[in-house]
């Protein structure tokens, strides 16, 4: 699964100090891509090293400062015999100077909270003076390199191993991750997938979708990339069974305060929706205003095209849309429906084929089916049929599987 130290292959330490350079533009996206097994091309400064890096050499990135430790790994790439080249300095305050770089492909990029900690490195690989690694390009002697790579691979296995921590590997279904299997250690707990979490943050960002708070902007390096992930459908509600979780559809980044408020309901298995809490924040509403409302979930796949990317129709008057809602509207993640809605109005729309989908997961009807539904509703209101008969007849009209 992981590259091994081979004869003729060198291992180098790269260094990243976020205080000196915090412009890793798509860090969250690269976390998600490498978690899904996609190599990510890039380049990195080699400090004063001007030669000696060849295609296939292994590169390990040490993050300095807070949450110090090994954050990423990759392989040097290049067309020539060596991979180092000279270009403009990465420090924009030095416009007249140059620096030396190597092209590479990242095979693993982690969130800061998942690093292989420096304290562990000091204990397990004492041959390296970890406090004194000042710049990129330090080459490791073969026995030390083998020890460090083995420790790195063990760390990656540990955070992905359901028997050691809380993560599971992706299923074979593209875009889906397995979550929620109950295991027993000291207490029962529910597994949460590191890769699904990384994909959620890559797709939705690291700002709270309710209040917009961003820890990195507020606390600088100390808060960089920190955010909690909220399961729109509680992960503990599966009775200990595994279930499929789609990061785009099922997960949202939220700050700890908003996360606690989402779950502060009379029935903890039915959290408030993100839209509900956002409106509480804007309009100073109480939970009682939402007592009758239950968070619904879109189907596993679109009944029209089989896709799994859904947007949400928001119902009601949005008096003062915030920046996050405007962003979601701009990216077609949500659409405003209005106040006067019925059971035959869509709850979701497919972002792949634009089909409108009812709360039950069926396609919105048209033509003769609408006429039959209207007649069915009249019979129910007139007392000719009771509610159960009405629901059963409605399902026969709308659910294709009910006819089989």
pLDDT at 6: 44
pLDDT at 13: 93
Residues 6+ apart with CB under 8 A from 260: none
pLDDT at 201: 81
SS3 at position 145: helix
Task: With beta carbons less than 8 A apart as the criterion, state whether 133 and 168 touch.
Answer: no
What rounded mean pLDDT belongs to the chain?
A: 77
pLDDT at 346: 80
Lowest mean pLDDT among 1-10, 127-136, 318-327, 373-382: 1-10
pLDDT at 171: 32
Task: With beta carbons less than 8 A apart as the criterion, state whether 272 and 287 touch.
Answer: yes
Cβ neighbours of 231 (radius 10 Å): 20
Which of 114, 137, 148 minimizes the C-alpha distance to 4?
Answer: 148
pLDDT, mean of residues 286-301: 57
Q: Where are the beta strands (DSSP E) in 247-347?
A: 251-254, 310-315, 334-338
| Residue-wise burial string across 332-358, b where 16 or more C-beta atoms lie within 10 A, e elsewhere | ebbeeeeeeeeebebbbbbbeeebbbb
Residues 6+ apart with CB under 8 A from 333: 311, 312, 351
């Amino acid at each position: 699964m992981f590259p091994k130290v081979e004869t003729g292959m060198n291992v180098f330490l790269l260094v990243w100090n976020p205080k000196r350079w915090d412009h890793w533009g798509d860090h969250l996206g690269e976390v998600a891509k490498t978690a899904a097994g996609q190599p990510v091309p890039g380049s990195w400064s080699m400090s004063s090293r001007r030669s000696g890096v060849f295609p296939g050499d292994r590169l390990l990135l040490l993050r300095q400062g807070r949450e110090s430790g090994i954050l990423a790994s990759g392989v040097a790439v290049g067309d020539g015999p060596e991979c180092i080249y000279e270009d403009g300095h990465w420090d924009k305050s030095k416009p007249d100077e140059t620096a030396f770089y190597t092209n590479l492909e990242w095979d693993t990029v982690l969130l800061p909270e998942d690093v292989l900690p420096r304290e562990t490195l000091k204990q397990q690989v004492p041959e390296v003076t970890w406090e004194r690694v000042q710049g990129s390009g330090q080459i490791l002697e073969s026995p030390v390199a083998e020890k460090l790579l083995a420790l790195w691979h063990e760390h990656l296995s540990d955070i992905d191993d359901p028997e050691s921590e809380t993560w599971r590997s992706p299923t074979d279904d593209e875009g889906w991750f397995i979550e929620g299997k109950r295991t027993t250690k000291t207490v029962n707990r529910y597994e949460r997938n590191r890769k699904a979490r990384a994909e959620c943050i890559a797709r939705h960002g690291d700002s709270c979708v309710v209040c917009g708070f961003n820890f990195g902007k507020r606390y600088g390096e100390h808060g960089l990339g920190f955010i909690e992930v909220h399961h729109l459908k509680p992960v503990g509600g599966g009775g200990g069974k595994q279930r499929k979780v789609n990061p785009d559809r099922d997960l949202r980044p939220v700050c700890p305060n908003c996360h606690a408020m989402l779950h502060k309901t009379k029935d903890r298995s039915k959290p408030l929706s993100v839209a509900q809490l956002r409106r509480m924040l804007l309009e100073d509403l109480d939970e009682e205003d939402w007592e009758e409302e239950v968070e619904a979930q879109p189907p596993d796949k679109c009944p029209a095209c089989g896709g799994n990317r859904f947007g949400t129709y928001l119902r009601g008057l949005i008096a003062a849309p915030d920046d996050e809602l405007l962003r979601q509207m701009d990216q077609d993640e949500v659409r405003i429906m209005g106040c006067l809605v019925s059971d035959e109005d869509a709850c979701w729309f497919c972002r792949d084929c634009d089909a409108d989908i009812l709360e039950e997961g069926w396609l919105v009807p048209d033509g003769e089916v609408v006429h039959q539904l209207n007649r069915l509703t009249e019979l129910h209101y007139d007392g000719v049929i009771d509610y159960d008969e009405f629901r059963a007849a409605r399902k026969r009209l709308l659910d294709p599987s009910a006819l089989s």
